[in-house]
Amino acid sequence: MTYNFYDEYSIARNQFHNQQFPSEYLDDILVRLAYHSSAIEGNTISLPQTVSIILHNTVPERTSLRELYEVENHRGTFALMLEKVQEREELSVSLIKDIHERLMDKLIVDRGRFKSNENAILGADFATASPQETPLLMQQLVDNLNYRLDTATTEGEQLEAILDSHIQFERMHPFSDGNGRTGRLIMNYSLLKEGFPPLVIQTEDKGQYLELLAEQNIKGLTKYALEQMAKEEKRQEQFIAKEKVQDHDLEL
């Protein structure tokens, strides 16, 4: 399946844009998610190059096709996420597969399908889910997350439910490849849907992040998330203020 990621993102961006999410801020989120999430997995494309690829549809010289698609595919995937957040669609196995299919377009042949062979996490001291049990475990993960979100009485309970499901997703490793990038986008889908700021895991925090996942340290991951999201809110406010100034200038 071929997607016109560039046009679809432009449409989704314009429809999602509001006072809390200025268009330039949505671009900023997309670029940083694409850059940091790809870099965590070893991609060497720089942040300025990511801007060129994502926002200007320009490919830097001497860029490998694999690294290009790893970054570029975030655009169409983020467009899908914005569309579904607007529709208030609950996370589902089907949506997770759709996110993976777009994110891994042109990269693997079994994109959008759960793994058919055993896989492992490098350096991990635990086994990932078997191919046979993955479909049931993923359905249980989604059902459990949606139940916890529906019954949560505080934002803290909601946040912990989302982060806990992220840890469990990464431990299952349900796809043959792309689990880290897919998991971080799924986590951000739930955060945006529930009204939280996005959580951009910084590439310089890779060691800390992977350790928190390996230890299933939900308290530690929550602490990290709150710190990053507080910074994100300040960044968001800067873009909101900038758009207000631009709108005021247009009215003059």
Residue from 36, 100, 166, 173 carrying the catalytic annotation? 173
DSSP per position, 165-215: HHHHHHHH--SSS-HHHHHHHHHHHHHHHTTPPP----GGGHHHHHHHHHT
| Cβ atoms within 10 Å, residue 76 | 21
With beta carbons less than 8 A apart as the criterion, state whether 124 and 170 touch. no
Cα–Cα dist 18/11, whole Å: 14
Q: What's the first-to-final CA gap in the chain, in angstroms?
A: 47
Q: Does 220 belong to an annotated binding site?
A: no
The answer to whether 217 is annotated as binding is: yes
Cα–Cα dist 210/220, whole Å: 11
What is the three-class DSSP state of 147? helix
Owning domain of residue 123: 5-247
Tens of pLDDT, residue by residue over 149-181, are: 999 999 999 999 999 999 999 999 999 999 999
Q: What is the pTM of this model?
A: 0.94
* 110 marked as part of a ligand binding site: no
Q: Is 195 contained in some domain?
A: yes
- The predicted-structure confidence for 25-56, as pLDDT tens digits, reads as follows 999 999 999 999 999 999 999 999 999 999 99
Active site residue 248: no
Is the confidence at residue 241, as pLDDT, over 60?
yes
Query: Would residue 53 count as lying in a domain?
Result: yes
Contact criterion met (CB below 8 Å) for 9 and 75? yes
- Please tell me the total count of domains within the chain: 1
User: Which residues, including other chains, have CB under 8 Å from residue 134's CB and lie 6 or more apart?
Assistant: 114, 115, 172, 174
Ligand-binding annotation for 181, yes or no, is yes
CB-based contact 6:47 (threshold 8 Å): no
CATH number at residue 87: 1.10.3290.10
Contact yes or no for 170/180 (Cβ under 8 A): yes
Mean pLDDT in residue range 56-66:
94
User: What mean pLDDT is predicted for residues 95-117?
Assistant: 98
pLDDT at 1: 38
In-domain check, residue 252: no
